Amino acid sequence: MVRQKNDPPRNAEADSEQFLNELQPHTLEYFEMISYSLLGPRSIRAMGTQLNSLVELKLTSLSIKAIAELPSLPSPPVLKVLVLTDSLPTSRNEEFYSIVSEVAGWISSCKSLRRLELRRFVDDPKLLSQALTDQGPHLTTLSLANYTLFGSRDFYEALPSQQSLQNLYLRGEGSENPDENSAFVQAIGQLKNLRELELKDISDGFRDYHAMPLILDLPRLERLWISGSFFDDAMLDAFLCLPQLKSLVIYALSEFRAEMIIEFISRLGPSNKGFNLSILNSTVNGNLSEEEQTVIHEMLKNNLNGSFDFALAYEESTDDDSEDLSN
């Protein structure tokens, strides 16, 4: 793409369209927008010249007009990674939801897709509830951020269609409704091939009676990041039901006794080699002394070549600091 000295000013939309159209057809394997570029419908249509070779597609900051062009593209036959984030704000009216349904159908037609990541793209739970079907792609990785558990039941009821999932990363606003959390747990618990599960904030309403059944349902987990309203020593026995576990991050408000943590570590085996334990939101009553933390750290290092991280809940540690300063 060569510009002459007296050419009129260009914009990202025109440059992108020209760039895609001037490439040898179906030779581009990776396309990513990394900034607020204002690509529009013309750029999306021009991607049609590269779809037979495109393996990864990452788009951000699209307008609803540009998003509406995605379903006009033929199904990309070798697309394995699709990342859609941070679209421009727009009204959620009947036309908007019609576009959501059409985009869901297009995603569902991407049969080679293995990794799908969404964050503030459209109504993402609604989109996924329609895109995740038995006839659609068989994902190994799914990531969804910045959504609310309440009102997303159609999405997580569609999750069991993805029995190929090995990595599930969910981050959003949790619910205090026990029935909502139970239904959420039941859906995830059907994903028997999961190796990595991250539940950041979205599981803030979990009690032990939500987390325990979930853990028991996912024996192949190797990495678990989980928040919750309160966990105590009883949870440690549940974690022992994960024989391949290598990393456990507990961001739930928690109260674990040092002797129970030590007992838990002593029961880990060779399949837990390299085990990393992080307890990051402990109550003051669950506070571990420096000596206790050192014992746990050394035990993990010597027995499993692992590591240990510990932190008090932010509000409680702040209150303690305030009290110390006032004395």
- Give per-residue pLDDT as tens, 22-67: 989 999 999 998 877 778 999 999 999 999 999 999 999 999 999 9
What is the pLDDT, as a whole number, of residue 5?
Answer: 47
b/e per residue 276-309 (b: at least 16 CB within 10 A): bbbbbbbeeebbbeeebbebbbebbeeebebebe
Q: What percent of the chain has a predicted confidence (pLDDT) above 90?
A: 85
Work out the mean pLDDT of the chain and round it to a whole number. 92
Tokens of 316: 């409680």
pTM of the predicted protein model: 0.91
Q: Is the pLDDT of residue 312 over 60?
A: yes
- Average the pLDDT over 126-130 and give the result: 98
Q: Is the pLDDT of residue 271 over 90?
A: yes
pLDDT digits (tens, 9 = 90+) for 160-185: 999 999 999 999 999 999 999 999 99
Q: Is the pLDDT of residue 265 over 90?
A: yes
